[in-house]
Structure 1
Amino acid sequence: MDIHLGDISHIIQLSIAPVFLLTGVGTKLAVLTNRLARIIDRSRVLEDRLGAAGGAGFAEAHSELLTLYRRAHLINRAITLSTCCGLLVCVVIAALFIGDALDLALAKFIALCFVAGMLSLIGSFVYLLREIFVATQTLSRRNLPSVPK
């Protein structure tokens, strides 16, 4: 079985769109890990404060810490789903190359992996949105100065 230069360029053309998608997923993973790092940093500060505090500061710090744990859990799920999406997109790219190079009928497998990847990406965005809602809900509950009417 000979693979010609024209065949390889056709295979590369087929894989361009999934590669761009993979770049976007990588960028999203960077955003998610940044959010998780900030949550972890804040949690460490609060854990230290809980160890040294007593009385009134304890309840507030404990409440914020519980919220941060919830946010971290949501971001972890978003990271997991984004990573699954990235892996599935890699499988799609590999299957495109293998299927076209070896003349295998992998269209249904490729479509299944692509749809599974998109569902993973959608789920990741849903968890990110939930985490953002939890974060902004916490912000609105803090003791902010009242705005005159």
Structure 2
Amino acid sequence: MNIQIGDIGHIIQLSIAPVFLLTGVGTFLMVLINRLARIIDRSRVLEDRLDVGYNDTYLNELDTLYRRSHLINVSITLATSCALLICLIIAMLFLDDITNLPLDKYIAGMFVLAMMCLIGSLVSFLREIFIASAAMRSHRHVRQPVE
């Protein structure tokens, strides 16, 4: 098997689009991780306050934070799965071109699976945002105006 420089250039061209997608998923993962870090930080503050004394407001907020962290973890898992599938797609594109194995159906199937993971991740993220927004609005109504 003799691989020409032009063949490698063609393979690299084929893998460019998935690499851009991988960059976007990586950036999205950073957003998710930052949100999870903020949720964890706020949970620690509330748990410390609960150690001092019982408060229903803190418990309710902790419940909301736990629900949000669960959704973020689901989103992170799905986004990471998407990234792994994209990496496999890139590797399979190279194998398909180098070995002449008929991998096109597998590549297409993995791409569909990667998109399903990305869609699931975005839906979970959107649900987390809705919960965070609703909690923010409900806390605003609980507070009494300062006179």
TM-score category of the 2 structures, normalised to the smaller one: over 0.9
Structure 1, unaligned stretches of length 5 or more? Answer: none
Q: Report Cα offsets for 1:92-119 as digits up to 9, x if no partner.
A: 0000001101111100000000000000
Match of residue 35 from structure 1: 35
Match of residue 44 from structure 1: 44
Match of residue 3 from structure 2: 3
The alignment status of 1:130 with 2:127, answered yes or no, reads yes
Counterpart mapping for 1:68-147 below 5 A: 68-144=65-141
Alpha-carbon distance in structure 2 between the residues aligned to 1:64 and 1:112: 42
State the Cα RMSD in Å.
1.3
Rate the CA distance shift 1:46–1:146 in 2: closer, same or farther, 3 A. Answer: closer
CA-CA distance at 1:143 after TM superposition: 3.6
Q: What is the aligned residue count? A: 144
TM-score (norm 1): 0.94
Q: Which runs of 4+ in 1 moved over 3 A?
A: 143-147
* Equivalent position amino acid for 1:109 in 2: Y
Structure 2, unaligned stretches of length 5 or more? Answer: none
